[in-house]
Amino acid sequence: MCKQVAHTYLSSRLCRLPNSMLYDWVMQRSFTIPGPWLTLNEYISAERSNKFKAAAMKRNETERMMRFLRGEPITSKIDVTFQSFVANRKKDPDNLYAMFLKCFFDALVKKGILENDGQKQIGRIVLEQPRLDGKERMEVSLF
């Protein structure tokens, strides 16, 4: 099996895994979440004006993301890649990703896909530079 996946992204890790865990690592899960999504600046502005409004915004965004998540629970440590597609470059990449990451990992936990969103469950997080596209969306891959 290691020779078959030698040229893949996680080949060095796969060869060291026991066969029982190999299936979880070979299977990649991808999710596409359409935009627009809550940005950090919007959240901070709401937090400064009314903390209950900000909490409701975060809760609504987390629940919106849960609609796009599917799959069985993941028991092994995962690596996550985020690729955003934006209509223009008016928003900073850190502003785009900050609240999205928080709401996305909270949605994974609430949906039961991840047990927790701590360091024992999440390994590497890769944030790709936003790409220009007419349709705003975030593509997320779990390895």
Give mean pLDDT in consecutive 10-residue pieces for the chain, a chain of 143 residues.
37 42 57 93 95 96 95 92 92 89 96 94 94 92 92
Tell me what pLDDT residue 27 has. Answer: 56
DSSP-assigned letters across all residues of 61-101: HHHHHHTT---PPP-S-EEEEEEEEESSS-S-HHHHHHHHH
* Pairing between β-strand 137-142 and β-strand 78-86 as defined by DSSP bridges: antiparallel
What is the helix (H) or strand (E) element at residue 51, kind and residue range?
A: helix 51-66
Q: To which residue do tokens 């599917």 refer? A: 70
Q: Which of 39, 24, 30 is nearest to 80 (CA)?
A: 30
